[in-house]
Amino acid sequence: MLKNTRATDPVLAGLLDEELSRQEHNIEMIASESTAPLSVMELTGSVFTNKTLEGYPGRRFQAGSGIADKVEELACERARELFGAEHANIQSYSGSTANYSVFASVLQPGDKVLSMRLDQGGHLTHGSPANWVSKIYHFEFYAMDPETELIDYDALEAKAREYRPKLIIAGASSYSRLIDYERIANAAHEVGAYFMVDMAHVAGLVAAKVIPSPIPYADFVTSSTTKTFCSARSGMVFCKEKYAKMLDKGTFPGAIGSIQLHTMAAKCWSFKYAASEEFRATMEQVVKNAKCLAEELTKYGFRIVSGGTDNHLLVADLRAKKITGKDFQNALDAVGITVNKNMIPFDPEKPSVTSGVRIGLTAVSQRGLKEPEIREIAAIMNKVAEAPNDEENIKACREQAQALIAGFPLYPAGSFED
C-alpha cells in the first residue's frame, strides 16, 4: 500500500512500518480505538480525495458532482436504514464536528446547555472550559450518584427544571452503563429543551442492536464513525425529519466546508458492513469480553466503577492495588498493553495522575480474542499492578502478552505488502 511513498519518502514510509508493527504486536485497549477494515483503508485513500464538493445532492456548489451525489445518497439511505433514523447527515468530519453541527443548528450565543460532568465521563465538546463552545454557550453539568456511580437522574431532572436549558446532552467517553434515554428525553421535553445523544463510543453496539438505541428518543444523535463503529475517522448525525432542514443548514454551511468524500465512501461501505452477521457477532463478543474482563479484574481485587459494564468499556479503580492511573498506564505500556489513565467519579487525584484506567475491548475482539484470552489479559494486568517497578516481572509479562497476541493477526498476512 506504500509503494509510492517508499520511493518518494522512505523516512515517512519507515514510520508507517513502525506503527503497523506497534499495532500488530500490542494489545490495544484504548476504548475509543478500533481496527479499520481493509475496505475502509482502501476507500479513505481513494480518488474521491481529489473532488471538492459543497452542498447537498442536487444542490451542489461545484460541477462534476453526479457520481458523488450517488455515493452520498446511497450512504444516507444505508445509514437511515441501519439505525432506523428519519434523517441522516453524514458530512461531519468527526464526532466533534458532528456535535458542533448540532450546536450550529439549534443554539444561539448565550444559550444554556446541560451535559454530563467532564471528569465523570462527558466529552470536551460537551462544554469543557478548554473548548471554544464554552465561550459561546453557558454549560451546566449533571453528575453521577456517588453511591451507585450511575447517572443521578433525579438530580438531572431537578437541574433541568431549575436551569431550563435549550439543549440537554447525553452520551459519554467513559460511561460503562446503559443510559436511560427515554427518561432524559422526557426531562428535556418537559422544559422545552432539545435532546441530543452523542453515541460516539457506542455507535457500533447500537448498529448491531446489542444495546438499546437512542434514535427513538433523541431529537439529534451524533457520532464518530471510528470507535465501536470501526469505520473511517469521521462523523455522522441523525435527527427527526422535522429537524432535517435545520440540521443540514447547521452542518453546511453552519459548521463545515467541503465534504470529505473519501471518508464518506468508507462510511458508505461501513453502513452496509455494520448490517452483516459478522459485525453483529463481533459487537456481541465485544460486550461479552468487557463483562469477562470486569469480572476477572474484580476477582483480582480491582474495583470496577459502578460494579461492571454493559458496553465495550470499563473503568477500573486502582486504589486498592495501590497504583495510580498514570503509573499503571505506563507499566502496561511497557508490557505492550495500551490503555489510558482515567478519572473515576469524584476522583481524589489530579486529571494528570488519576485513580483509574479506562479499558476498551473493541480492537481485541475484532482480532478474535474471546473469554480465555481476556482472562489471560486480566492475569497479566494483575501481575503488572502487583510489581510495576520489577523489571523481571515486566519483562515476563511483556513476553506473555506478545505470545498471546501473536496468534491473532491485526490484518490477514500480506495485506500491506506492496
65 vs 309, beta carbon nearer ligand PLP: 309
Given 78, 201, 267, 303, the residue binding ligand PLP (CB under 6 A): 201
The answer to whether residue 260 forms part of the interface with ligand PLP (CB under 6 A) is no
The answer to whether residue 131 forms part of the interface with ligand PLP (CB under 6 A) is no
The answer to whether residue 198 forms part of the interface with ligand PLP (CB under 6 A) is yes
The answer to whether residue 101 forms part of the interface with ligand PLP (CB under 6 A) is no
Q: Provide the residue type at 195 as one letter.
A: F
Give me 219's grid cell: 431529537
Dist. CA 259–CA 232, nearest whole Å:
14
Dist. CA 90–CA 299, nearest whole Å:
43
123 vs 262, beta carbon nearer ligand PLP: 123
Q: Which residue has the cell 476504548?
A: 31
> Distances in Å between the alpha carbon of 197 and those of 115, 139, 238, 279, 314?
10, 16, 10, 23, 20
The answer to whether residue 224 forms part of the interface with ligand PLP (CB under 6 A) is yes
> Distances in Å between the alpha carbon of 44 and those of 5, 171, 348, 414?
16, 27, 43, 19
- Strands of the sheet with 356-360, listed across from one edge: 303-304, 313-317, 356-360, 340-342
The answer to whether residue 340 forms part of the interface with ligand PLP (CB under 6 A) is no
Q: Are 50 and 201 in contact (CB under 8 A)?
A: no
HSE-up of 78 (CA within 13 Å, CB side)?
21
Dist. CA 33–CA 334, nearest whole Å:
19
- Cβ neighbors of 240 (< 8 A, separation 6 or more) are 86, 87, 219
171 vs 336, beta carbon nearer ligand PLP: 171
> Distances in Å between the alpha carbon of 380 and those of 296, 336, 408?
11, 11, 17
Q: Provide the residue type at 142 as one letter.
A: Y
Q: Which residue has the cell 508490557?
A: 335
The answer to whether residue 311 forms part of the interface with ligand PLP (CB under 6 A) is no
The answer to whether residue 173 forms part of the interface with ligand PLP (CB under 6 A) is yes
200 vs 401, beta carbon nearer ligand PLP: 200
Given 37, 95, 360, 388, the residue binding ligand PLP (CB under 6 A): 95
Instruction: Return the exposure string of 70-82: e unless at least 16 CB atoms fall within 10 Å of the residue's CB, then b.
Output: ebbeebbebbbeb
> Which window, 170-178, 208-216, 341-349, 365-373, contacts ligand PLP (CB under 6 A)?
170-178
> Distances in Å between the alpha carbon of 175 and those of 117, 222, 358?
11, 16, 10
> Which window, 194-202, 212-220, 283-291, 391-399, contacts ligand PLP (CB under 6 A)?
194-202
> Which window, 168-176, 204-212, 238-246, 247-255, contacts ligand PLP (CB under 6 A)?
168-176
The answer to whether residue 263 forms part of the interface with ligand PLP (CB under 6 A) is no
Site for ligand PLP in 19-48 (CB under 6 A): 32
The answer to whether residue 94 forms part of the interface with ligand PLP (CB under 6 A) is yes
The answer to whether residue 96 forms part of the interface with ligand PLP (CB under 6 A) is yes
Site size toward ligand PLP, by CB under 6 A: 14
Given 171, 204, 356, 360, the residue binding ligand PLP (CB under 6 A): 171
The answer to whether residue 123 forms part of the interface with ligand PLP (CB under 6 A) is yes
The answer to whether residue 324 forms part of the interface with ligand PLP (CB under 6 A) is no
Which residues contribute to the site for ligand PLP (CB under 6 A)?
Answer: 32, 94-96, 123, 125, 171-173, 198, 200-201, 224, 235
